[in-house]
Each structure stands twice: as structure tokens, then as C-alpha cells.
Amino acid sequence: MHVKQTIKASNDMWKKVFKKNEQVIFREIAGEALLVPIRDKLADMQSIFALNPVAEYIWQQLDGEHTFEEIRDGIASRFNVGKEEAESDLTEFIDRLREANLIQG
């Protein structure tokens, strides 16, 4: 039986840091923020991520220095939401990025 491991399952998630995969390009096109994975020197057009403002904020914080807790608190403050909602948005997006190998950490 294979159990999917998510960031929620980690006991030390609050101190965890993530870093962007160097094979991902961030672009703003016509006011839309996009992540474009590069595979074998070509853009993987099947795997483009369109980012809403919260996801874009999270992406900008993935520098290998900001902890999960700092990013969560930043979301709560910047977007005027509770910590539970911020945590939910953060864990969901981090899980999607990890599944697509767009981040390391």
C-alpha cells in the first residue's frame, strides 16, 4: 500500500524550507503569473502553472531561506486571512509543486 506523503504529515514542517527548481521559469504574461518548467532545454507546455496572487506570493518566498511558518504568517498578514486558511493554501500549493518536481526541500 502506497501512502502519499504530504507536507502536512511532517512533524517539523514549521522549520522546513523550500527552494525553487532551477529548471522552472517564472514569467508574467498579459498580467498573468506563470511557472514554465524546462525539460531537456525546452519549455514543457503541458505543465505550465498559472498562479493566483497567493500562489505567486508563495513562489516568490521559496528561496531556501523562508521557513514554512514564515511563509504561512506572511500569507495571513498580506492577504488578511486566518492562519488556518493560510496554512491550507500553503500546504496545498507546496504539495502540488512537490508532485511536479518544481521545488526542492
Whether residue 9 is contained in a domain is answered as no
Range of the domain at 95: 16-104
How much of the chain exceeds pLDDT 90, in percent? Answer: 58
Please tell me the distance from the alpha carbon of residue 62 to that of residue 73, in angstroms, as a whole number: 14
Confidence (pTM): 0.81
Kindly state whether residue 24 falls inside one of the protein's structural domains. Answer: yes
Q: What is the CATH number of the domain that holds 86?
A: 3.90.930.60
- Residue with the three cell numbers 500553503: 90
Q: Which residue has the cell 496572487?
A: 53
Counting the structural domains of the chain, the total is 1
Helix crossing, 83-99 with 53-61: angle to 10°?
A: 70
Q: How far apart, in whole angstroms, are the C-alpha atoms of residue 22 and residue 104?
A: 9
Per-residue pLDDT of 39-61, as tens digits, reads 776 655 677 889 999 999 999 99
User: DSSP character for 20?
Assistant: E
